[in-house]
């Protein structure tokens, strides 16, 4: 049995350690898959909601990822959303080796209240296209040709791209 995971935002890794007892009613389960064999040492995960970063985490928290098998993803993450959150979340996962980006994946998740959502993030080799260079890959950027505030997201997406503690 698991104790309550928290009321605002929570990350559980590995997923098997968490179970669903005591989780809040709204959240997202992210499954990270290395689709091109880039073999990242760790993954920097950023979740954007509205005009700011609402969550950032390194997977694993320390050390390096175990090499994935065909049947096994890089990792699974639970993000619990507090309060009556609804709307669109943007998820960016950056696979890193030391300070070098080796893989990136992104997805948009439309969140409904009182619902847990599942989202697979495929990390492809190298960075995703980002025409306006605002740190938000074009595939989830509301205005991929414009890095100004007119799109509702700060030019840096509410994040500064510096790998989360690249050390072991």
CATH number where 101 lies: 2.60.40.1120
Full domain range(s) for residue 118: 15-128
Peptide bond into 151 cis (omega under 30): no
Q: Which residues contact 139 (CB under 8 A, 6 or more apart)?
A: 106, 107, 128, 129
Work out the angle at residue 56's Cα, subtended by the Cα atoms of residues 116 and 109, and round it to the nearest 5 degrees: 35
| Residues of the chain scoring pLDDT < 70 | 1-24, 51, 70, 83-84, 148-168
Provide the pLDDT for residue 166.
Answer: 43
Nearest to 77 by CA among 38, 111, 47: 47
- Per-residue model confidence as pLDDT tens digits over 8-50: 333 333 333 334 445 667 889 999 999 888 899 999 999 998 7
How many Å apart are CA 93 and CA 57, to the nearest integer?
Answer: 10
* Assigned domain for 148 exists: no
Q: Which residues contact 30 (CB under 8 A, 6 or more apart)?
A: 45, 76, 77, 78, 79, 91, 93, 119, 120, 121
Provide the pLDDT for residue 22.
Answer: 54
Provide the pLDDT for residue 114.
Answer: 86
Structure tokens belonging to residue 61: 């928290």
pTM (whole model) above 0.85 = no
Domain count, the chain: 1
* Assigned domain for 67 exists: yes
């Amino acid at each position: 049995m698991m104790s309550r995971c928290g009321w605002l935002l929570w990350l559980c890794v590995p997923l098997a350690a968490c179970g669903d007892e005591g989780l809040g009613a709204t959240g997202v389960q992210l499954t990270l898959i290395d689709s091109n064999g880039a073999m990242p040492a760790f993954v920097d995960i950023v979740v954007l909601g509205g005009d700011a970063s609402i969550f950032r985490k390194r997977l694993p928290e320390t050390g390096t990822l175990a090499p994935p098998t065909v049947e096994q993803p890089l990792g699974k993450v639970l993000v619990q959303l507090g309060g009556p959150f609804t709307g669109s979340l943007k998820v960016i996962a950056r696979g890193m080796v030391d300070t070098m980006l080796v893989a990136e994946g992104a997805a948009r998740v439309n969140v409904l209240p009182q619902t847990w959502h599942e989202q697979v993030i495929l990390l492809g080799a190298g960075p995703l296209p980002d025409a306006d260079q605002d740190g938000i890959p074009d595939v989830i950027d509301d205005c991929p040709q414009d890095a100004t505030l007119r799109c509702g997201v700060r030019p840096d997406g509410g994040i500064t791209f510096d790998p989360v503690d690249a050390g072991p």
